[in-house]
Amino acid sequence: MKKTLITFIISIFFVNSSFSQINIESQLQESSKSAIIWLNNINSENYPQAYTGLSDQITTRFDSLDWISGVDQMMVSFGEFGGRREVSREFKSSMEGLPDGYYAIFQYESNYKNTLQHSEQLILHQDDKRNWKILDYSYEFKDGEGYIEE
Encode pLDDT of 40-58 as tens digits.
Answer: 999 999 999 999 999 999 9
How deeply is 132 buried, as exposed, middle or buried, from its count of CB atoms within 10 A (0-12, 13-18, 19+)?
A: buried
Strands 115-126 and 103-112: antiparallel
C-alpha span between 113 and 149 (Å, rounded): 14
**Domain ranges in the chain?**
2-143
Matching CATH number, 2-143, of 3.40.50.300, 1.10.1040.10, 3.10.450.100, 3.30.365.10: 3.10.450.100
How deeply is 26 buried, as exposed, middle or buried, from its count of CB atoms within 10 A (0-12, 13-18, 19+)?
A: exposed
Residue pLDDT, tens place only, 58-100: 999 999 999 999 999 999 999 999 999 999 999 999 999 888 8
